[in-house]
Every structure is written in structure tokens, then in C-alpha cells.
Amino acid sequence: MSHGVAPHLQVTDLVAGYVRGLPVVHGVSIEVDRREIVTLIGPNGAGKSTLLKAIAGLIASEKGRIRLGGRDVTALPAHRVVSSGIGFVPQTGNVFTTLTVHENLKVGAHLVRGSLNERLERAYALFPPLAARRPLRARALSGGERQMLAIARAVMADPTLLMLDEPTAGLAPRVVEEVFRQLRGLAEAGIAVLMVEQNARAALGVSDRGYVLTEGKNRFAGPARALLDDSRVAAAFLGGR
């Protein structure tokens, strides 16, 4: 991970929650570099989703620092975090069901000035099933197509960090594989990918590194392979072996 330069995303001792004074994340530190996939695992209530929302600016951080590419983005509101290069795919409600596929992609590039045609074509090339669904409202899509649209929408703004909250929840195994393959491709294209996954074993399988969070704190961290092989992690967080 570290090559002597600061990591792309650097979260230091972050404290955040939905209600001020009642934090869910109690001083978490994580790092994500470009070209790598990092997965956060841990039991329900460990603060994984809260951490992503805090980085996305959807909830305020009480303490700690969030830096992206060396720039402090801790106090930025959500709509400004986007322009700093962070794309976020929430777990639920991650597409606009009343808008068409095409409109969803356009909204994803809301901050981009000028023509979107090139970006739109690139998104359709990256996710071919969406091209055929262009004029349909997103509510007509299957679960897998929705997830693709959600990812494509986030990529429309050209993020340098893509965060996904349970991107494979409720998807068929074949579709899960497809989503992970896409994320691998995005990482190889130079994006830093940070995801939260219940499907921990499969997620670590495509990840470079992972963090285990419990009760809002760092518990374990390391290369994905090492976490998969660690008997303590396997027993408690990967559903046994």
C-alpha cells in the first residue's frame, strides 16, 4: 500500500454518528490507494456504513481528519465532496427510480460542465446492458441492472475514489461476480475503490486489502489474503471455514 507518498484516501481517528455526541464511529483510521480495492467488514452496527456516509459528507464528523489526494475534505458538505473526487453508491435507494436510465447518468455528472455525450457513451460501453435500457425508468430495471446503473452513475463524475455500501446485497451469484469484475476494472483504471460488504469472503477475494471494524473501532487490518487466512478473522467475521 504505502509507497512513501501519502495514500489517496487517508482517514485519521474519525469520530462520527447520526446524532452529535452519540458517535457510531469511534476513532477509525483507514487508508485507500488508487488502483486498489479495499473492503470493510465487520458485524452489523460496527460503523461501516456510517464511516462511508461520513466520508461522503452526508453526516458530519465530530473529530478526526479525512484527506483525499492530500486535500482536507473533512468538513465539506456532501455536494462539495463530489467535486473533490469522491463517488458514493449507497446501499439502498442508489438510483432515481422515477428518472430514466439516461437521466440517472446525466444527474451523476451534474457538476460536469459542457457536453456529456462522450462520458455517456463511455458509461454505456462500460455497462452494455444499460445501453439497451436507456429510455426506461430505473424502476423497471432488475436488481443487477440497478446496481450497474448506480455504479455507472457514480463513475459519471470521474471520481478518484469510489465508495460502495454493500454493492452485491440481494444479487444472484452470477451478478455478484459481474459487479466485482467491474470494480476490478475500475480499480485497474486508476480509481481507489472502498466497499462495505456482508458477503465478506467473496469481497475479500477480489480485494487487495481489508479492514475489520467492530463497535466503531479498527479491529484487524491487512492484505485481503492474510485476513482470509487469519483464523481469528475467519471464525468471527467470515462465518467460519
- Which residue ranges make up the site for other proteins (CB under 8 A)? 56-58, 77-79, 82-83, 88, 90, 93-99, 103, 106-108, 110-111, 153-154, 157
In the bound complex, what is the minimum distance in angstroms from residue 17's beta carbon to other proteins? 16
Does residue 164 contact residue 187 with C-beta atoms inside 8 Å?
no
Which of residues 81 and 200 has its CB atom nearest to other proteins in the complex? 81
Which of residues 1 and 111 has its CB atom nearest to other proteins in the complex? 111
Does residue 68 contact residue 84 with C-beta atoms inside 8 Å?
yes
In the bound complex, what is the minimum distance in angstroms from residue 128's beta carbon to other proteins? 23
Which of residues 102 and 209 has its CB atom nearest to other proteins in the complex? 102
Sign, Cα dihedral of 27, 228, 210, 221: positive
Which of residues 108 and 210 has its CB atom nearest to other proteins in the complex? 108
Exposure pattern of 23-48 as b/e (b: 16+ CB <10 Å)?
Answer: bbbbebebbbbbebbbbbbbeeebbb
Task: Please count the other Cβ atoms lying within 10 Å of the Cβ belonging to residue 55.
Answer: 26
In the bound complex, what is the minimum distance in angstroms from residue 85's beta carbon to other proteins? 11
In the bound complex, what is the minimum distance in angstroms from residue 239's beta carbon to other proteins? 31
Phi, psi of 181 (to 5 degrees): -65, -40
In the bound complex, what is the minimum distance in angstroms from residue 152's beta carbon to other proteins? 12
For residues 210 and 189, give the distance between their C-alpha atoms in angstroms, rounded to a whole number.
Answer: 20
For residues 84 and 69, give the distance between their C-alpha atoms in angstroms, rounded to a whole number.
Answer: 9
Instruction: Give the contacts of 22 (CB within 8 A, at least 6 positions apart).
Output: none
Which of residues 151 and 212 has its CB atom nearest to other proteins in the complex? 151
